[in-house]
Amino acid sequence: MQLPRYCTRTLEGHQGAVLVVRFNSDGNYCLTGGQDHTIRLWNPRRGNLVQTFRGHGYEVFDIAVETGNAHFASCGGDKDVFIWDVGATKVIRRLRGHNQKVNAVRYNEDCSLLISASFDQTVRIWDLRSKSFTPIQVLDDFKDSVSGLALTNREIIASCVDGCVRTYDIAAGQLRTDTLGTAITCVSVSHDGNCILCSCLDGTLRLIDRSNGTLLCQYKGHQNTRYKVESCLSPDDSHVVSGSEEGAIFMWSLVEGQVVRKLEGHRNVSCSLAFHPSTHEDAMLVSASVDGTVKVWNTQQATEQPIVAAPLAAAKEEETPFPETLPRADPSKLPFSVA
């Protein structure tokens, strides 16, 4: 697979730091959430804003999109998990139970369950088929803020600032704890299901064997000692990718652990990123930054100018022009700031 090298679009519209970016399930659109309390839907290929979702009263930390794209979930400083109807552009359900900000949210494979992780040191499991607003299970083995989530077909994997990755096999009622010894702010699983990738606040990414917790490789070169910075694996599991506090996107060879590419363009912390869900030869990457922008990276340079008109006749967007000067991000409101 070819890795992206060119910034082909810059998506501007958030008033302040952009804290999360996620593709929808077919990759035609991406969703972003920010410090301005809004969630925005974009067409990343054309570079235009399609819709803005308003309902959060605080910053948005994470977004998860349902497989059918009709709904998505979001979380943040509100302490609740929001379920949105895309067509109606409104919140249809709020899941209450966490007593501090919610850091991460994920759907299970068939989207019947929603899992949320919080600063309150718990993971909560919500049954979306039920009309109940209480979680069906609360996992409370954590000693600090639960920073990230990754799911397999039968396991919930949670990273924690206490330095541990906990893997729950819900069906078997088993818990395995892998201790890394330093605060972990992001966790993801390789596409083949064999490895777990962890972002740590000592400026190191660690790849561990999912079956037994053995450390397989470490990746260094980026800056990550103060903020939550996401990492992931390329769609073919050949490379590791991470944001960095100075704004660059770093790419390492999975096996050798050497930096093979560095994408520069953001002016501040590049805190969230996502690969296009397709697995064809050319990979598209989107990255979100505290500088208030989202960048779209491709293997080839753009051949056309960005389109500014909304592509959907039904889209009702009333956006003011993006200001030339971004408001300065408040570090105290960024996830896992130690400032």
Taken in order of first residue, the domains within the chain and their CATH numbers are 6-304 (2.130.10.10)
Q: What is the pTM of this model?
A: 0.89
The pair phi, psi for residue 333, each rounded to 5°, is -100, 0
pLDDT of 279: 67
Q: C-alpha angle with apex 146: 94 to 339, nearest 5 degrees?
A: 105
pLDDT of 336: 53
pLDDT of 329: 41
Helix (H) or strand (E) holding 43: strand 38-43
Tokens of 154: 């039968």
Tokens of 211: 């079956």
- Beta-carbon contacts of residue 60 (< 8 Å; ≥ 6 apart): 19, 20, 33, 34, 37, 38, 39, 74, 75, 76
Of 39, 62, 17, give the one whose Cα is nearest residue 329: 17
* Low-confidence residues of the chain: pLDDT under 70: 279-282, 303-339
CB 186 within 8 A of CB 224: no
Cα separation of 216 and 204, whole Å?
Answer: 13
Tokens of 62: 């994470």
The pair phi, psi for residue 116, each rounded to 5°, is -130, 145
Cα separation of 50 and 89, whole Å?
Answer: 11
